[in-house]
Amino acid sequence: MTKRKVARVKVNNQAVERLFRESLSKKICGTLVGLWFLAAEHLRLGNWDLIKGYTGCNDADIEPRIAMQIVNEAALCSNRVRRSNYISHQGFELLNGLGFLVTDEQVHGLLDKHTINEAQSLQETLAIIRSNNGHYKGELIAIDPHRIVSASQRIMPKKKKQPEEPSRKMLQTFFALDTHTGQPIGCGIGSPGVNTSMATVDLLNMVKLVSKDALILADKEHFTEYLIRSIYHSNDFEFLVPVTSTERIQKIERAQNYQSKWAGYAIAESIFNFAGCKEKYRLISQREGETTRDYVYKSFLTLSGKPATVLLSEMYQERWSIEEFFNFDGAMGFDRASTFNLNIRYGKMTLALLAQAATYQFRKKLPKPYNRWNSTHLAEAVFAKIDGDIRVKDDTIIVTCYNAPKELNLHYHYHGLPAKLISEGINPKVPWLYDYKLDFRFK
């Protein structure tokens, strides 16, 4: 970079800080003050350091603040929040350490500069932090090839998300989730050069950072020789996957001797190997129905030594928790894809994982039944609805909330926040807010 360019960047950074401080010097009123609670959770998770690592910038730079805006947009479950200009008069831009809202072009320019590998590195570090914070149990991990409907203008093949739905343009993504806590460990992205097997191997390498002993609950699309052999030889995981009902599998199912477990349900086991391969795997077949004409078969391949009834009737049912995650937190950015630029798409999903992690920590502080609000409900009822004002006093930004529901117990967790953070061993200065501390008042 030339000296001239360095000087220009420095001036821009100084101008941003000056605009931020000028805006903060004025009392701001709005209905987005609830979103400021997440700033405390970002501090607790170390999200700012993760963002700086992703952008390759430091505390004074603009780029990490642009990324922080993307994170907070995800928490609001709002697509294209930058169209709503009124939001800039409610303190949203100050929450990101800016005095203005960045544009679509600035957001895309930032994400396009950073690679999938850089976003993946951020996810890996986040997974380790979340594991240390108790966000995962690491016993049962569900993986899922999640398709997202896209509005891309690119010429591309169309696929069906559900058999009964019309074909549409789709972005192929891959998620791993801890079934006990319902929390995502990481996600991957598909492309013409990255098929399901390759993407899943990369995803499981991320899961290793959390647990190497987990039972992986897979989808039928994961029944591939390459993937199963890779897991078999790595000895890192147990594995359970439904098999594709081919003619060969159907013959095996019908030729076996089944043991009845309860009325209408029986199980049989055999050894299976892919054609031309020496590796032998455990094949478990289940049969449902009371009479021969009513029999329905379904088979699973597993690398686990657990009893068949435990694997099929107890553990595999937990795989559907990943669908609950998409229903619960999908609106944060895991249910839409406006572009197929892989750097941009993967970067946005990765930054959305930061928002999801912070929201999870916030939600854990809420009493029942409020801690079961999905992301959209939480955004509408708390982050975007609480009235208040934002002002600065000495070295502290004071956020005053006027209509925060008392039953949420927010006062207990966020009033006197600097002292609470110090007691947790956390520096109460917020680096993306130019080292101002943050505190809350409730009226």
Is the bond into 369 cis (omega within 30 degrees of 0)? Answer: yes
What is the C-alpha to C-alpha distance for residues 8 and 2, in angstroms, rounded to an integer?
Answer: 10
Sorted by sequence, the CB contacts under 8 Å of residue 166 that are 6+ apart come out as: 160
Q: Does 434 share its domain with 297?
A: no
Number of structural domains the chain divides into = 2
Give the residue from 313, 332, 351 where a domain finishes: 332
- For residue 36, the 8-state DSSP code is G
**pLDDT classification of 162: cutoffs 50, 70, 90:** low
- Mean per-residue pLDDT, 415-441: 97
Model confidence over 256-297: pLDDT tens digits? 999 999 999 999 999 999 988 889 999 999 999 998 889 999
β-bridge mates for residue 240, sequence order: 217, 302
Residue 347 lies in a domain: no
Average pLDDT score over residue span 347-355: 96
Minimal CA–CA distance to 332: which of 119, 184, 136, 204? Answer: 184
Residues 6+ apart with CB under 8 A from 130: 45, 136, 183, 185, 357
- How many Å from the N-terminal Cα to the C-terminal Cα in the chain? 51
263 falls within a domain: yes
Residue 241 and residue 220 in contact, taking contact as beta carbons nearer than 8 Å: yes
Residues 88, 163, single domain; the answer is: no
**Is 380 a domain residue?**
no
Domain range enclosing 402: 9-114+386-442
* Tens digit of each residue's pLDDT (9 = 90 or more) over 223-238: 999 999 999 998 889 9
CA atoms of 92 and 88, how far apart (whole Å): 6
- Residues 178, 93 within the same domain: no
Residues 236 and 290 in one domain: yes
pLDDT at position 80: 57
**217 and 78 in a common domain:** no
In tens, the pLDDT along 56-80 reads 999 999 999 999 999 999 999 976 5
Query: Is 257 found in the same domain as 279?
Result: yes
**Residue 216 near residue 143, CB atoms below 8 Å:** yes
